[in-house]
Amino acid sequence: MNTIIHKPSPSPNHPSSLFPQISRCKTTRHLKQIHAHFIKTGQIHHPLAAAELLKFLTLSTQREIKYAPCAKLARIEEGKQLHGFVVKLGLVSDEFVRSNLVRVYVMCGAMKDAHVLFYQTRLEGNVVLWNVMIDGYVRMGDLRASRELFDSMPNKSVVSWNVMISGCAQNGHFKEAIEMFHDMQLGDVPPNYVTLVSVLPAVSRLGAIELGKWVHLFAEKNEIEIDDVLGSALIDMYSKCGSIDKAVQVFEGIRNKKNPITWSAIIGGLAMHGRARDALDHFWRMQQAGVTPSDVVYIGVLSACSHAGLVEEGRSIYYHMVNIVGLLPRIEHYGCMVDLLGRAGCLEEAEQLILNMPVKPDDVILKALLGACKMHGNIEMGERIAKFLMGWYPHDSGSYVALSNMFASEGNWEGVVKVRLKMKELDIRKDPGCSWIELDGVIHEFLVEDDSHPRAEGIHSMLEEMSDRLRSVGYRPNTTQVLLNMDEKEKQSALHYHSEKIAIAFGLISTRPQTPLQIVKNLRVCEDCHSSIKLVSKIYNRKIIVRDRKRFHHFENGSCSCMDYW
């Protein structure tokens, strides 16, 4: 006999009959009405009802927090009320209810409450919830807590690894992100698409090209699709690691080039390498392909013009963006224009642009103009800008250093000493310079005047040899960059130990002759380092690629790709 089994439809009194309504809830007021209905009809005693309410609260919190951060506090309160309610009804033993409650707390950043509930109620077996907790700490920027939790996790999933890797990278802990990626490969959880996208920004920042190539190969071998997102991350990595040609190759290989992110990655890369004409070509190509340039793309094109001194092109693109396309310039666009005009010597025009900005100029813009004043010897405007800067950003070392450098360049040691004393008085310290070089997949980090490396002795003798050979070809150190009014000899020795020089010395003693050296520096390379690296590339017959905070310098046979314009 055949029996037809009907799935019973939920009775109107069963809470599941209201679930579709919960998911369609647009406002918390509506939700409260349903909540009240649950109470009135007694449905609230059903664990499913409480769990669904919490789930909605999590999702709506996620949505709301994005647009008005003060919603957080209100949500924490609602979360706590629901928590008390759930406990009173004895529903807290339901795993689904509890895990949604933990999510609400995590989403609101109430990590203490989430943590207590997570441990007290033995949710440790729930891998998904571990990941939610780890992610919560990462979002709060508390990497130590997230790491502790991660380390004590019995079964790590690929999501756990991804959360940690991207968390480290997003919070500026690039070395840790890469170390985690290495650790992951020692275990039995293979990286996936998200892992690769998460680790690549860290690879880019440290210029770890060997690892970057490995990531690319891994994607190809494992048939992980290099779509616009992963492709853009690879383009960014190759260009920031000095291989702009490889970046172009990846770009051409991406089938769907409709995403402006892909275009801004390649245009930004070309700009950084000083290939302004190519950047402009891509900008036109992008528009021919029917992709509307985003404001980030304009930042790339304008910075390309600024690096290459293409004043006319820059002006007309900026005009087009503001007056034809109607994009509201962001502070970064103003920054590019001030940089472009300032370097080209149009100091008054740059200053006017700043004065007409609808928002307060940031320190980057003012420093760009200050740098231009120094470059073109306009001390009067320089001092004016510096005063502005110090008034607005009294604890930022950059403006003091820039002003001091400007005084030093004209031999005004009295001015230098004054600035130094002011810095001392306010206890302002200069950002320490730091350079990285990757050898055989290991990243070596050097600080200014660093002698902590295991091969410090060898590095030191190499630095001595370098300065002897530089002197023998007639090189005289440019001591105007040194802040203190010390005697010539002291100044010269201070210059020897800029971190990029130490990294180069280490590269020279650790690699075969003719091996190209690739260095990443956190600050801008100084004029003295720039001219000595040019000579080092010739004397030692090495290609040396240096990425500083702003752009790439390809040193070869005594000259640099930036044509000394940087």
Give contact residues for Zn ion (rule: CB under 5 A).
498, 526, 529, 553, 560, 562
Residue given tokens 């441990």 in the structure block: 119
Q: Find the shortest distance in angstroms from Cβ 379 to Zn ion.
A: 23
In terms of Cα–Cα distance, which of 443, 441, 445, 399 is closest to 422? 399
In terms of Cα–Cα distance, which of 225, 251, 228, 226 is closest to 238? 251
User: According to DSSP H, which parts of 222-330 are helical?
Assistant: 228-240, 244-253, 260-272, 276-288, 295-308, 311-319
Q: Find the shortest distance in angstroms from Cβ 539 to Zn ion.
A: 17
Q: Name the residue nearer to Zn ion (CB basis): 59 or 448.
A: 448
Q: Find the shortest distance in angstroms from Cβ 553 to Zn ion.
A: 3
Q: Name the residue nearer to Zn ion (CB basis): 168 or 529.
A: 529
Q: Name the residue nearer to Zn ion (CB basis): 179 or 527.
A: 527
Q: Find the shortest distance in angstroms from Cβ 518 to Zn ion.
A: 14
Q: Name the residue nearer to Zn ion (CB basis): 246 or 498.
A: 498
Contacts of 190 (CB under 8 A, 6+ apart): 158, 222
Q: Name the residue nearer to Zn ion (CB basis): 122 or 476.
A: 476
**Angle at the Cα of 211 (from 205 to 213), degrees rounded to 5?**
105
Q: Find the shortest distance in angstroms from Cβ 174 to Zn ion.
A: 22
Q: Name the residue nearer to Zn ion (CB basis): 156 or 553.
A: 553
Q: Name the residue nearer to Zn ion (CB basis): 379 or 448.
A: 448
Contacts of 562 (CB under 8 A, 6+ apart): 274, 307, 551, 552, 553
Q: Name the residue nearer to Zn ion (CB basis): 331 or 563.
A: 563
Which residues are bridge partners to 560 per DSSP?
A: 555
Residue given tokens 């530089």 in the structure block: 470
Residue count (the chain): 566
The CA distance from 178 to 436, in Å, is 14
In terms of Cα–Cα distance, which of 308, 304, 329, 331 is closest to 319? 329
Q: Find the shortest distance in angstroms from Cβ 414 to Zn ion.
A: 24
Q: Find the shortest distance in angstroms from Cβ 530 to Zn ion.
A: 6
Q: Name the residue nearer to Zn ion (CB basis): 119 or 565.
A: 565
DSSP letters along 462-523, please?
HHHHHHHHHHHTT----GGG--S---HHHHHHHHHT-HHHHHHHHHHHHS-TT--EEEEESS
In this structure, what token pair is assigned to residue 552?
């790439």
Residue given tokens 């009320």 in the structure block: 81
The CA distance from 526 to 217, in Å, is 36
The CA distance from 121 to 114, in Å, is 11
Q: Name the residue nearer to Zn ion (CB basis): 403 or 526.
A: 526
Q: Find the shortest distance in angstroms from Cβ 533 to Zn ion.
A: 8
Q: Find the shortest distance in angstroms from Cβ 542 to Zn ion.
A: 15
Q: Find the shortest distance in angstroms from Cβ 385 to Zn ion.
A: 23
Can you tell me whether residue 315 is helix, strand or coil? helix
The CA distance from 175 to 554, in Å, is 25
